[in-house]
Structure 1
Amino acid sequence: MSKVTTVGIDLAKNTFVLFGLGPKGHSGWKRKVRRKQLLEQLVRLEPCTVALEACGSSHYWARQIRALGHQVELLPPQHVKGYLRGQKNDYNDAQAIAEASEHGRIRPVPIKEVEQQDDQMLHKLRQGVSKDRVRISNQLRGLLAEYGVIMPQGIAALRRELPLALEDADNGLSERARQLLHRQYQRFLEVEQELAWYDQQVKQRSRQDETCRRLQAIPGVGEVVASLLKGWMGDGRQFRRGRDAGAALGLIPRQNSTGGKDVLLGISKRGDPYVRAQLVHGARAVVARADGKMDRLSRWIQRLKAERGFNKATVALANKLVRIAWVIIARGEHYQPSEQRLAV
């Protein structure tokens, strides 16, 4: 096998394509291997750079390949797309990945360790259970409305009012409808118990993790948001400064500028939408309670609310909170409200 300096791998479920580049970017070789043959193929190579797209199973393979002594880079797929030449196939995809790595202008995605993936799995499963609860509650409320029984909005109201509606003999519900609604309500209660278990796991994890405890000192950051930020950001070293973290999470304006004329639109909404949404929810709670307070952060929020409105002030605060979180995670500092280290 000829000397290679960079190997691009197009990942799949069972079949992988490798494209090797030699010194000075000259094309080396290409291979198609089965899943069980991938590590056997790479162990024969001298230590080099192995590039993969950041996609499903990529963090697992990155850890396995790194253990062989290679330098591994995970590249964002949307940026690799620009290096694709010719028609799309596995070989051209692998070549594009290798050339994107050789170019060196794409910031790689940090490789997640097993513990970080465990934390993210916990939040993804919790998010799925939470969606199930909302779906079932909306379904129950809609089915009851078909019989003229109107339930107030909110989970707590449904939990309180639905058993009363099932016991009310004068509301027009048939016996069959009561039986069906009762079964679905029992399922709703089971989902609530499952969600409570996940909430307890998140809180327990946040209490045990020292970084999460420091993050919870930030206004608007509780146990859930702290755990989400820690899982999303990792050690924070992939960002040079806090502003880069805010940009990666999509909390900066989207540009459509040309000819020297700057045009700023709404936020870019890049990155993880669930992390961004939870952070905005936390910021909204802080903005809603800022009136009448005289500390520096509250005065900044009050001025921004008066100039730009509630929603823009909320997003601006969320961006500021991400930048503060980066300082706490990447530099190991503590939040000090007296000094108000808001700009990073």
Structure 2
Amino acid sequence: MKERRYVGIDVGKRTYAMAVIGKAGAVTHSNGKTSDAGRAALWKKLQKTDKVAIEAGNMAFIMAKEILAQVGCEVVVLNASRLALIYGSMKKTDKEDSLKLARIIEQFRDDQLPSVPLPSDQEMRRRKLIASHSRAVKLRTQMINTLHGLFLHQGITTVVAKDLATTENREAAVKQLTGLEREEAEWTLEVIEHCEKRMVRLDKHMAAERKGDKQIERIMEVPGVGPVVSLAFVAFLGDGSRFENASQVSNYLGLVPRVDMSGTIVKYGGITKRGNKYLRSLLVQASWAVMRSKQGSALKERYEYMTVVKGLGKKKAIVAIARRLAELLWTLLRSGTDYEPRKFTGPSKGVPVEKIVTEALAS
């Protein structure tokens, strides 16, 4: 029987570096391209008894699935942001990183590793849809802001960005421009139109993904959680089974504060912002939607308590609500139960939160 080898693969955009720890700790290095032919050559270097470590990423997921299918050896996908051993080193090269990945799986048990589950084909498809939607929305917003700037260039201050949200308003407003600004504005209108057409098409794809999905339907019952938020949440968290508790979910999404501990002094900073940035922003947007909703909810009451009674800033409070919202959605996914509206009890037992808020506003 062949002795187990520990293999670390550091993946770049076009190339990879591989380190193999073999018999008696002997280390060998190799590299290659991440093209189809390059990956096929890599599989021939691996053995079925190998244990492979690879950093998480789109190409890493592709390569990990191919290794499982073509070689059949064990593959561990690691969260690079939590590998202090790699990023804490003063010397950082692809060759060095691949060796450190191999050392990590050689020296640590699986339950000690910051491993990332391989997403299913369905999850990957949904993540790509969400990413495409994010790019289209971002470009549309950027172009509307550019269009608004053209009005300011000609001293027209009566037109504000929100007036340019619809095609009719944009076309009517552009007639006020002249010269080069008018020409630039007409080109910008075409870009915005293409973005909106792309968004419509993506909406149809996402509607097809949501159709008949009980998990998505379940979390869409929560106030503020719309079609895009629900699909994105399930795309990145699946059924929630890989998380043991709600705190792990908040940490995964980067909605927990940074903690700086020095002796007996503990300082809390801004949120870590780990995980998917777009999903995190969607949860914040959903939280604002909850605040604007006429429908009461524990999240809305908690926000009012934090801002009115405790005096917390609105931006900090809404991030705290986004964290609570994420934990609520995970709970519904994990338990398989339907959403039921509840009241926020607050820290004062027996005293309705509405009364606490009302008294605070009156004082």
TM-score by structure 2 length?
Answer: 0.80
Q: Secondary structure at the match of 2:75?
A: strand
- Work out whether residues 51 and 74 of structure 2, in 8 Å CA contact, stay in contact via their aligned partners in 1: yes
Supply the distance in 1 between the matched residues of 2:281 and 2:67 (Cα, whole angstroms): 34
Is 1:18 the counterpart of 2:19 in the alignment? yes
TM-aligned CA distance change 1:21 to 1:281, over 3 Å: farther
- Work out whether residues 85 and 96 of structure 1, in 8 Å CA contact, stay in contact via their aligned partners in 2: no
Is 1:74 the counterpart of 2:77 in the alignment? yes
Supply the distance in 2 between the matched residues of 1:227 and 1:172 (Cα, whole angstroms): 41
Q: Secondary structure at the match of 2:274?
A: coil
Q: Secondary structure at the match of 1:256?
A: strand
- Work out whether residues 145 and 161 of structure 2, in 8 Å CA contact, stay in contact via their aligned partners in 1: no
Is 1:322 the counterpart of 2:314 in the alignment? no
Supply the distance in 1 between the matched residues of 2:298 and 2:94 (Cα, whole angstroms): 55
Supply the distance in 2 between the matched residues of 1:92 and 1:122 (Cα, whole angstroms): 35
- Work out whether residues 241 and 334 of structure 2, in 8 Å CA contact, stay in contact via their aligned partners in 1: yes
Q: Secondary structure at the match of 2:223?
A: coil
- Partner amino acid for 1:4? R
The residue that corresponds to 2:178 in the other structure is 173
The residue that corresponds to 2:162 in the other structure is 154
CA shift for structure 1 position 339: 9.0
Question: CA RMSD, aligned part only?
Answer: 3.0
The residue that corresponds to 1:238 in the other structure is 242
The residue that corresponds to 1:32 in the other structure is 30
TM-score by structure 1 length?
Answer: 0.84
1:129-144 paired onto structure 2 within 5 Å: 129-144=136-151
The residue that corresponds to 1:261 in the other structure is 265
TM-aligned CA distance change 1:303 to 1:147, over 3 Å: closer
TM-aligned CA distance change 1:86 to 1:145, over 3 Å: closer
Q: Which runs of 5+ in 1 are unaligned?
A: none
Q: Secondary structure at the match of 1:208?
A: coil
Q: How many residues align?
A: 331
Supply the distance in 2 between the matched residues of 1:178 and 1:244 (Cα, whole angstroms): 51
Please list the CA deviations of residues 251-283 of structure 1 after superposition, one character each: whole Å capped at 9, or x if unmatched.
112111211222222222222111111101111
TM-aligned CA distance change 1:336 to 1:75, over 3 Å: same
Q: Secondary structure at the match of 2:266?
A: coil
CA shift for structure 1 position 163: 2.5
- Work out whether residues 2 and 28 of structure 1, in 8 Å CA contact, stay in contact via their aligned partners in 2: no
Supply the distance in 1 between the matched residues of 2:173 and 2:90 (Cα, whole angstroms): 64
- Partner amino acid for 2:25? S
- Partner amino acid for 1:8? G
- Work out whether residues 80 and 96 of structure 1, in 8 Å CA contact, stay in contact via their aligned partners in 2: no
Supply the distance in 2 between the matched residues of 1:86 and 1:318 (Cα, whole angstroms): 36
Supply the distance in 1 between the matched residues of 2:185 and 2:300 (Cα, whole angstroms): 47
The residue that corresponds to 1:282 in the other structure is 286
Residue identity (%): 23
- Partner amino acid for 1:246? S
CA shift for structure 1 position 304: 2.1
TM-aligned CA distance change 1:138 to 1:19, over 3 Å: same
